[in-house]
Chain A
Amino acid sequence: MYTFSSKLKTLAFILMVVGIIGVGYSFFTAPKTLEEAEAIIAAQHHGGHGEAAHHEGTHSETHENKADEAHVTHVEDTVKEGHKLTDEEKAHLASDSVSSIVATAPAAHDSAVAEESHEAHAEAAVAGHDAHKAHDAHATHDEHKEHAEHVFHQLQNKPWAAVYVAALFFMLISLGVLAFYAIQNAAQAGWSPVLFRVMEGITSYLIPGAIIVFIFLVVGVLHFHHLFIWLDPEVVAEDHLIQQKSGYLNGTFFLIRAAVFIGGWIFYRQYSRKQSLAQDEATDNLSYKKSFKGAAAFLVFFIVSESIMSWDWIMSVDPHWYSTLFGWYVFASFFVSGITTIALITLYLKSKGYLEYVNTSHIHDLAKFMFGISVFWTYLWFSQFMLMWYADMPEEVVYFKMRIENYNLPFFGMVAMNFLFPVLILINTDFKRLSWIIVMAGIVILLGHYIDFFNMIMPATVGDQWFIGAGEIGAVLFFLGLFILVVFTALTKVPLLAKRNPLIEESKHFHY
């Protein structure tokens, strides 16, 4: 039997407390009123000349982009003006950064059209119309106010989005492990039964984790946060595209779907755990057969619920954007994170002397899955990205345009973390048997996939106001602490080796 080391337990509590402080701080410092937001914007832009120069850059670019828009007649003037006024503007920007923001507001809005985040849609038309006006030094107060409101909403979303990304990420890790566990059962894998109890331990987090996510969604439907703008009747009233989707995107149906999916996953988790434990004490293979059938049934439910879940909980934060591949892409992301987590926890338990029959061959197999699914994730990432980039259709390419412009480092950095690094290091057979290599690759993979979810949620909710600060790190630490606490508590409940699984002997003697 495993005993939860008091050090690890303390660490989990510390992570949770530090996490709560971080999250609390980010909620506390988020602007409560428009005036506060304006002050924050002003403070941001007193930052220095570098930033001013940057704004100037986007400024003239924006005017060139405007050529595509309706105001063809104004464009030539505007562009000319843009070049002529450069020096003047510099002085202007330096002296009054707030109005410089006003001038660049359409730039932000222009990529926001792209993003179609919060009010972007409503503002898009305005931004287009007022492009030339905004350029003018005589920017009106309306535009200023609109921009400030826009940023205000993004800043208000920031702590919520930080919590959401972390809550979703850890819950999905657990769900990924559950899918892996079901696949191992349904495929009658001979190598993995010695790891079943580790996997069952990790899936125990699914229960609190999924309930937290569900509560978060309920809180959204009750309008405490505004991550899903299609829940906002005012936005929907002005947005015919969302109106068309309201048969699907509405609070009630959204929560019903979520409840069904979460209920189904938790049910299978509990059921498979029960059968797994029953098989230990049984005299026949009845429970094993039930596990097998349960796994097959779950996998059918999973492929459907997972696809819809990813449309609902992730894709719908950008309600104008759509991609048919999205569900499978999300799956690959959390599936590889789940497998990585199995490897890391197995190595930890092994290092503490708990897993007698786990040898380097088991680790090698897990590492191969980390390698293979990382490649698979990249395949799906590339397929989705390349097809939209290639066809360059405005209604969908905006998604990537926004990310490349405002999330350049996280967007391409995650490809390095989720593909280049693990693939290069895990291709070596000997390396796949070395704990420190697996731990190193595993940490990079997990961080990389956190950033993947960050990239999916943040652009639509906080736009260019993103930052990995107290709220984001705090949320990750809190959920990490909770995850450790729940998972390792579950591991103490039952022996770490399944006893009478018909394939356990194969697994004990497995060597590759």
Chain B
Amino acid sequence: MSSHYEAPIRKPLIIGDKSYHDVTVDVARPVEGRANKQWWIAFTIALAAFLWGVGCVAYTVGTGIGTWGSNKTIGWAWDITNFVWWVGIGHAGTLISAVLLLFRQKWRMAINRSAEAMTIFSVIQAAMFPVFHMGRPWLAYWVMPIPNQFGSLWVNFNSPLLWDVFAISTYLSVSLVFWWTGLLPDFAMLRDRAITPFTKRVYSILSFGWSGRAKDWQRFEEVSLVLAGLATPLVLSVHTIVSFDFATSVIPGWHTTILPPYFVAGAIFSGFAMVNTLLIIMRKVSNLEAYITVQHIELMNIVIMITGSIVGVAYITELFIAWYSGVEYEQYAFINRATGPYWWSYWLMMTCNVISPQVMWFKKIRTSIMVSFIISIVVNVGMWFERFVIIVTSLHRDYLPSSWTMFQPTFVDAGFYIGTIGFFFVLFLLYSRSFPVIAQAEVKSIMKTSSEKYKKLHESHDNHSHSEHNHH
């Protein structure tokens, strides 16, 4: 496809004297080895949080939505906040696997697998909120346009909440197919290396009989490109539709046209931060520092910085237009955010989302793994508060002052949220021990252009022969 010549100024993406075989061994090691004590500790904690969440959800469904802190004015609070937050996090996976593929970013090769896993696991978390925030979740299937015995009673296609159903379910399906397709050559690699009959059997089933013929590879690449082309508008539209839940309303603070692209920018922002959080740990515990290099972290930090700035511009735009509109409700919505009873959440959001990513302008900071790790968590805290601020501060004070009220979450609200975090890590920890966490087939495809070893070879070759760069 693209040229095999690479400019000398580009830094290597694979560090050290790695051969093709080394890549295989390095990627297979965590899967083929046994889990250590720390893994079991982490897994137990995550599982406990998950089970606690299951208990909270069971309690909610059994007793009623009134166990939550939502009230007559604030019908949406933590439930939708967490939903949007999880969906947003999921977006980075598709961004990395699809958008960066379209832009031919070779550095995506080492991170796309984990980013996609993160997408799928976080969309699963997100998808639970639309179901369990229903008053009657056992009737959730009514949102589907299924022919029925009520004279074919249908759904109303005008509601963004219904669009959400289609958006999220399509998004999850497409992401899953995209992810799994990419896994086929890697599962085949694990299958071919398997020693025990059990693992041989498991990875044989998972790899769908992949044999890696030229024709297969050719179609594999085409499918990846087509799916990337489809996933890109999908990822934009999914978070856009999520933003429509608010923007189509008439609530001051919600009804604003910038919400679709700004939610998408926020999703990339928080999603990349989450990828950074996870990969900084993973590269360490799975010994993948040669593949997930400081340059990868730096580039993710740059994406975080850019999207953080876009989000910042959107905040300022909203503030300016609220003043410019001359609509006092709109003006008050923003005064209330900045100075009302939830001022602390607004300023926390502003600090975490607008100021913290700006430190990435300094190379020293964005190449520091420690600082990147901290900022990546700060960003996700900030993005949780962004959703909280948009949802709660717009609802708790709007048109009629007689309806003004406050929101106080209960332990059930918190328990459900903690449960999803636990479930996410249960899935992610299981994934990291049973799946090839780096797309080895893809990494091998950039070996000759972008690994440290081959870059050195090219350099010495060029110096000796003074050739024009015609390696392809």
Contacts and interface: CB of A to CB of B under 8 A. Distances in A.
Given A307-B313, A380-B261, A391-B250, A323 B7 contact: no
B12 interface: no
B469 interface: yes
Interface in A365-417: 375, 379-380, 383-384, 386-388, 390-391, 393, 395
A387 B248 contact: yes
Interface residues of B, number: 40
A245 interface: yes
Interface in B341-363: none
Given A380-B261, A510-B2, A323 B321 contact: yes
Contacts of A248: 324
Interface string B401-445: 000000000000000000000000000000000000000000000
A345 interface: no
A322 B248 contact: no
A304 B276 CA distance: 28
Contact of A383 (B240, B320, B324, B326): B240
A393 B325 CA distance: 13
B5 interface: yes
A380 B240 CA distance: 10
B149 interface: no
A278 interface: no
Contacts of B472: 509
A220 interface: no
A484 B5 CA distance: 36
A505 B326 contact: no
Contacts of A384: 257
A391 B248 contact: yes
Contacts of A509: 3, 5, 469-470, 472
B448 interface: no
B233 to A, nearest CB: 7
B1 A512 contact: yes
Contact of B257 (A241, A300, A387, A505): A387
> Main secondary structure on chain A at its contact with chain B?
helix
Contacts of B313: 303-304, 307
B250 A324 contact: no
A368 to B, nearest CB: 8
B2 A322 contact: no
B261 A390 contact: no
A502 interface: yes
Contacts of A512: 1-2
Interface string A298-329: 00100110010001000000000011111110
A506 B3 contact: yes
A351 interface: no
A352 B453 CA distance: 43
Interface in A318-347: 322-328
A94 interface: no
Nearest to A303: B313
A467 to B, nearest CB: 30
Contacts of B314: 324
A245 B326 contact: yes
Given A391-B248, A391-B249, A324 B318 contact: yes
Given A323-B257, A383-B257, A387-B257, A395 B309 contact: no
Given A325-B258, A375-B233, A303 B310 contact: yes
B108 to A, nearest CB: 14
A493 interface: no
Interface string A239-274: 001001100100000000000000000000000000
B325 A322 contact: yes
A509 B240 CA distance: 39
Interface string B1-28: 1110111111000000000000000000
B326 A244 contact: yes
A246 to B, nearest CB: 11
Interface of B: 1-3, 5-10, 233, 236-237, 240, 244, 247-250, 255-261, 309-310, 313-314, 317-318, 320-321, 324-327, 469-470, 472
Given A327-B317, A380-B261, 6 more contacts: A190-B3, A304-B313, A307-B317, A323-B258, A502-B8, A512-B1
17 contacts: A188-B10, A190-B7, A245-B324, A245-B326, A303-B310, A322-B325, A324-B256, A325-B257, A375-B233, A383-B257, A387-B255, A391-B249, A502-B7, A502-B9, A509-B3, A509-B469, A510-B2
